[in-house]
């Protein structure tokens, strides 16, 4: 499964299984007791903290956040806007595959234009 996190495409084989194994790593608390809104608020907090400190989100954190969002909301795309909010969406897998190919070619403008339409 593919997940769009801002300007990165993340590949996740089994999001719920990944989350069950790694939820302690991101410190979100027991995921089974979280509501979807709690999961989104947690992800916003983590991304906002990284942005405010000028730290890039590492691959493990991105994978963990993507797994949390998928498991709790069903969304496979999240745009964190930096103002304490996020936009979630469910995108067709071929769309994400196309974006992954374009990003692999260095076409960042493609993703920016896509988000303007999709989000």
Res 1 pLDDT > 70: yes
Across 8-22, 39-53, 91-105, least confident range: 91-105
Q: State how far the Cα of 38 lies from the Cα of 57, in Å rounded to an integer.
A: 20
pLDDT band for position 10 (cuts 50, 70, 90): very high
pLDDT band for position 102 (cuts 50, 70, 90): confident
- The proportion of the chain whose per-residue pLDDT surpasses 90, expressed as a percent, equals 68
103 vs 90, which has greater pLDDT? Answer: 90
pLDDT band for position 63 (cuts 50, 70, 90): very high
Closest to 119 in 3D by CA, of 6, 12, 42, 36:
6
pLDDT band for position 107 (cuts 50, 70, 90): low
Which pLDDT does position 115 carry in this prediction? 58
93 vs 115, which has greater pLDDT? Answer: 93
């Amino acid at each position: 499964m593919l997940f769009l996190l801002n300007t990165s495409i993340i590949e996740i084989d089994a999001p719920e299984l990944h989350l069950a194994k790694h939820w302690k790593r991101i410190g979100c608390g027991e995921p089974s007791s979280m509501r979807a809104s709690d999961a989104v608020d947690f992800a916003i907090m983590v991304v906002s903290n990284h942005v405010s400190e000028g730290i890039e989100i590492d691959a493990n954190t991105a994978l963990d956040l993507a797994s949390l969002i998928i498991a709790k909301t069903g969304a496979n795309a999240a745009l964190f806007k930096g103002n304490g909010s996020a936009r979630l969406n469910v995108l067709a897998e071929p769309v994400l595959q196309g974006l992954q190919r374009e990003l692999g070619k260095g076409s960042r403008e493609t993703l920016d234009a896509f988000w303007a339409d999709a989000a």
